[in-house]
């Protein structure tokens, strides 16, 4: 955490145009660029470059015939290392040549020199502030009696174990490509590789049957598999990768004008990887319901375009129901965006409810009822009950917000989910309450704010409370947060129920700024002990019951 915090500070000092990360690749021929355009062989790293959107850049250092040993011996690693900058990603994929026991120049042992060399790549790239990502070697097309056979021995297992030991994200390309080849079948999988009859291709008049290297079709397919897995591991890269299963543009310049039609057109999730919908800048009227069938979804705007990519609505609990005379809309019906699906990640979008302050009514911009939802560089705008990160039914209701802006004035972050807000801006537009948690008694965490900024508008006069308990066992915590002077000295309000002061769980640790006044807080809140508070990380808060973490590159 300390290392990544320092990297973040360094990046903040760079000019805006220099902060977009570069993606570096080191590896063998299955990844390498092929300079002979007339020859049909391609490496997946060569096609991966086409998926990266400017201003991000790709540097493919992979070369034919190299192993971890020869890549170092030839000075290629030193050259690549010098290019790494803080925040760059480094994808490491070797194995095909390390396996060659009859060639001492390239051979390594899987749990010996192979692991040692990979460890060197990891640690030295980290010393430069880069983020290493391991990849297992891609599968070969070796069919025996109608089944695809593994060919890499212990090398993939060594990579997987090293990823665990060094806490490095893993793209398991062996498993991904094995599933791909198997799905295509013994005959269909030939199109991924270099299979040509004599005279079929002018560059290979004698023909070829190569089950290791890729055709352009194969390289492109594997590049997309790698990119989708990379996005799952590193959500910050989603807006920088120029591929999507559907694209939306309000001005009609894409296949879909609205997000709903794009969702309806999505194919099934391939190999369990997310389906990606790219939303171009524009205004998109709500309500939008993302139902359970659309789990495994990434909804991404353009980098830095959240203010220009807006999903908006003006519905609220006083809005007449169009189909039930004499009744009004419910919370889920009136929310601008309702997400019932799990595993939904959003980038660079604005969720807005324009119901004015004078209405004095619940008016949700976003209502979350699934599990494992994550938001990066998003904005949530409203007045009352802006954002509802909830737990619905048997769902654990875990939600993650990173570098987001959330604003309102009354209970504008509320409900029963477990949510982490990291490096977010929480803006109070008038006197009121930031949170109204209804955390169940058995849940250890409710709403946890880490390294956030709490800002207040000029309209704030009496002060803004950090929270009040919607239910008796409400839990809310602010750790290392900077607080404006508009934060009320008491910090917390009991909602007029004295019994809540005996059960509500309100924590604070190392607050800063003029609104940080721990000595003035209500007696029934708690200042955390240093030893305990330092253990509060997104992974520990959100991981139970299935070890989920929404941003494993920043644990």
Residue with tokens 């089944």: 147
Contacts of 151-160 with CB under 8 Å at 24 or more apart are 152/95, 152/96, 152/99, 153/99, 153/110, 154/110, 154/111, 155/95, 155/98, 155/99, 155/110, 155/114, 156/95, 157/110, 158/110, 158/111, 158/114, 158/115, 158/118, 159/95, 159/118, 159/134, 159/135, 160/136
User: What torsion do the CA atoms of 236, 239, 244, 247 make, to the nearest 10 degrees?
Assistant: 140
How far apart are the C-alpha atoms of 180 and 272, rounded to whole Å? 12
In sequence order, what DSSP letters do the residues of 288-345 get, joined into one string?
A: EEE-GGG-SEEEE--TT-GGGEEEEE---TTSBPSSSTT-B--HHHH-SEEE--SSEE
User: What torsion do the CA atoms of 473, 548, 420, 281 make, to the nearest 10 degrees?
Assistant: -130
CB 67 within 8 A of CB 109: no
For residue 204, the cross-strand partners are: 201
Is 385 a residue of the active site? yes
Of the residues 385, 390, 431, 484, only one is catalytic, namely 385
Both tokens of 48, joined, read 């991966």
How far apart are the C-alpha atoms of 3 and 207, rounded to whole Å? 52
Of the residues 371, 411, 431, 507, only one is catalytic, namely 411
Is 314 a residue of the active site? no
In sequence order, what DSSP letters do the residues of 463-510 get, joined into one string?
A: -EEEE--SSTT-EEEEES-EE-TTB-TT-B--TT-GGGGGT-EEEEES
Between strands 447-450 and 282-285, the pairing is: unpaired
Task: Select from 71, 69, 137 the least CA-distant residue to 109.
Answer: 69
Residues with a known catalytic role: 385, 411
């Amino acid at each position: 955490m300390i290392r990544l915090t320092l990297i973040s500070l360094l990046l903040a000092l760079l000019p805006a145009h220099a902060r977009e990360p570069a993606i570096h690749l080191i590896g063998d021929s299955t990844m390498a660029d092929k300079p002979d355009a007339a020859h049909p062989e391609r490496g997946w790293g060569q096609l991966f470059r086409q998926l990266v959107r400017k201003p991000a850049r790709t540097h493919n250092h992979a070369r034919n015939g190299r192993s971890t040993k020869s890549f170092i011996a030839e000075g290629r690693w030193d050259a690549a290392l010098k290019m790494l900058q803080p925040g760059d990603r480094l994808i490491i994929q070797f194995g095909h040549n390390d396996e060659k026991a009859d060639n001492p120049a390239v051979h390594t042992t899987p749990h010996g020199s192979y692991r040692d060399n990979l460890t060197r790549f990891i640690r030295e790239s980290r010393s430069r502030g880069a983020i290493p990502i391991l990849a297992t070697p891609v599968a070969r097309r070796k069919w025996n009696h109608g089944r695809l056979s593994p060919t890499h021995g212990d090398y993939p297992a060594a990579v997987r174990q090293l990823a665990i030991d060094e806490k490095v994200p893993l793209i398991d390309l062996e498993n991904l490509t094995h599933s791909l080849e198997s799905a295509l079948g013994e005959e269909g999988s030939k199109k991924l590789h270099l299979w040509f009859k004599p005279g079929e291709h002018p560059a290979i008049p004698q023909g070829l049957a190569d089950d290791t290297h890729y055709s352009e079709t194969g390289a492109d397919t594997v590049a997309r598999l790698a990119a989708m897995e990379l996005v799952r591991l590193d959500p910050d890269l989603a807006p920088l990768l120029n591929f999507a299963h559907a694209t939306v543009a309000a001005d009609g310049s894409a296949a879909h004008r609205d997000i709903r039609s794009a969702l309806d057109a999505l194919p099934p999730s391939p190999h369990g990887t997310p389906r990606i919908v790219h939303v171009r800048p524009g205004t998109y009227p709500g309500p939008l319901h993302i139902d359970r069938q659309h789990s495994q979804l990434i909804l991404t705007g353009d980098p830095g375009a959240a203010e220009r990519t807006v999903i908006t609505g003006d519905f609220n609990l006083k809005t007449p129901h169009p189909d039930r005379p004499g009744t009004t809309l419910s919370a889920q019906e009136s929310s601008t965006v309702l997400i019932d699906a799990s595993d939904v990640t959003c980038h660079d979008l604005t969720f807005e409810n324009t119901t004015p302050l004078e209405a004095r009514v619940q008016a949700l911009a976003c209502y979350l009822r699934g599990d494992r939802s994550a938001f990066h560089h998003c904005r949530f705008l409203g007045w009352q009950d802006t954002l509802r990160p909830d737990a619905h039914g048997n769902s654990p209701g875990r939600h993650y917000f990173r570098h987001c802006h959330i604003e309102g004035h009354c209970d504008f972050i509320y409900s029963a989910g477990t949510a982490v807000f990291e490096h977010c801006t929480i803006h109070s537009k008038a006197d009121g309450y930031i949170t109204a948690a209804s955390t169940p008694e058995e849940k250890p965490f409710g709403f946890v704010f880490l390294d956030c900024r709490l800002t207040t508008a000029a309209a704030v006069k009496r002060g803004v409370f950090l929270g009040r308990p919607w239910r008796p066992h409400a839990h809310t915590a602010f750790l290392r947060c900077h607080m404006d002077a508009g934060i009320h000295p008491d910090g917390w309000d009991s909602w007029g129920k004295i019994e809540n002061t005996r059960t509500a769980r309100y924590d604070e640790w190392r607050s800063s700024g003029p609104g940080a006044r721990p000595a003035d807080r209500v007696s029934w809140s708690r200042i955390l002990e240093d030893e305990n508070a330092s253990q509060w990380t997104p992974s520990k808060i959100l991981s139970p019951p299935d070890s989920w973490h929404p941003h494993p590159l920043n644990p």
